[in-house]
Amino acid sequence: MTPTSPAYRELGAQLAALTTEAFRPDLAEIDRLPTLDIARLMNTEDRTVPGAVADQLPAIAAAIDAAAERMARGGRLIYAGAGTAGRMGLLDASECPPTFNTAPERVVGLIAGGTAAFVTAVEGAEDRPDLAAEDLARLGVGPDDTVVGVSASGRTPYAVGAVGYARGVGALTVGLSNNANSPLAAAAEHGVEVVVGPELLSGSTRLKAGTAQKLVLNMISTITMIRLGKTYGNLMVDLRASNDKLRARSRRIVSFATGAAADEIESALEATGGEVKPAILMILAGTDAKSAARLLEESNGHLREALKGAD
């Protein structure tokens, strides 16, 4: 694509129409301000993001319910994006195994250009919808899976291509963008458009747009896991205790859930190999580790349902 080509002019026109790409003349002297004033400006801008997310809560909730239904059948949650948007997806996916004890393949992040693009830009990768199709085909995406395309502009070919391919094979599709009436939202079954407006620095959608993406992805993964029974109330009962801090946290969670004495908690965790959820069930239901494991299996991992089954 050359500066004189019709495609180049078309791309320029597309970017000019995006609120995330707009220039703000009122900030043209920002580089001359004291550091504290710049920090205050950034903080003021960031305060607008939660409100923009709040405007999209019904759409977000509908997408989560649909995704949770598919994950309950064994499906996966897959994020696909380029640049900052891709990195946000990778970050959210990587936090699910230690937080909710999910298998690494249950929540997956795809970034245009492969994982190397997490730290080094891969030129031209975001312009290739075919690469997104190849990445999803390699994963064997199907009807029980959910694919979330993430793009600040809402026009990134990799993200739009990912959603288009996924919808074609019957997967649930969600398009998360930061501009209204985006091609990404139009391509997906569930469009989530968190319009945060022009950025503090023109051309840097890692700022408010990136923050909005992080907030929404937090909601998608966290609330989906709540729906899958990965929590008991607001306690993370499926966390993976892989270090001393998490082992101490496990004991605190069992204590919050049961009110049991320290020695009873230690005994239950030892019997379950450090697994929090069956330890809680053992204490609250007065059962042994083997029975707790059976009850949880019968309730698909939902602790409240397992407690009912123990009555």
Looking at the structure of the chain, the number of domains it has is 2
pLDDT value at residue 49: 97
Same structural domain for residues 210 and 282?
Answer: no
127-141, 222-236, 241-255, 266-280: which range is least confident on average? 241-255
Same structural domain for residues 189 and 258?
Answer: no
- From 192, 227, 262, the end of a domain falls on 227
In a domain, 188, yes or no: yes
**String of b and e for 104-135 (b: at least 16 CB within 10 Å)?**
eebbbbbbbbeeebeeeebeebbebbebbbeb
pTM score, two decimals? 0.90
Same structural domain for residues 205 and 271?
Answer: no
CATH code, 99: 3.40.50.10490
Mean pLDDT of 273-279: 93
Same structural domain for residues 269 and 283?
Answer: yes
Confidence check: pLDDT of 144 > 90: yes
Same structural domain for residues 122 and 81?
Answer: yes
In a domain, 125, yes or no: yes
* CA 223 – CA 173 distance, rounded (Å): 17
Mean pLDDT of 225-241: 91
In a domain, 243, yes or no: yes
Same structural domain for residues 236 and 177?
Answer: no
Same structural domain for residues 92 and 211?
Answer: yes
In a domain, 167, yes or no: yes
Mean pLDDT of 107-112: 97
In a domain, 246, yes or no: yes
Same structural domain for residues 220 and 255?
Answer: no
In a domain, 119, yes or no: yes
pLDDT value at residue 9: 59
Confidence check: pLDDT of 10 > 90: no
- From 205, 227, 249, the end of a domain falls on 227
Split at pLDDT 50, 70, 90, the class of 165 is very high
Same structural domain for residues 206 and 244?
Answer: no
CATH code, 304: 1.10.8.1080
In a domain, 182, yes or no: yes
Same structural domain for residues 219 and 82?
Answer: yes
Percentage of residues in the chain having pLDDT higher than 70:
94
Same structural domain for residues 143 and 211?
Answer: yes
Domain of residue 290 covers 231-310
In a domain, 177, yes or no: yes
Interval 38-75: pLDDT, tens:
999 999 999 999 999 999 999 999 999 999 999 999 99
Angle in degrees, 0-180, between the axes of helices 262-271 and 244-258, rounded to the nearest 10: 120
- From 191, 206, 227, the end of a domain falls on 227
Q: Which residues are catalytic?
A: 95, 126
Confidence check: pLDDT of 17 > 90: no
* CA 79 – CA 86 distance, rounded (Å): 8
Interval 178-187: pLDDT, tens:
999 999 999 9
Same structural domain for residues 169 and 292?
Answer: no
Q: Which amino acid is at 218?
A: N
Split at pLDDT 50, 70, 90, the class of 175 is very high
pLDDT value at residue 285: 96
Q: Which residues contact 231 (CB under 8 A, 6 or more apart)?
A: 225, 237, 238
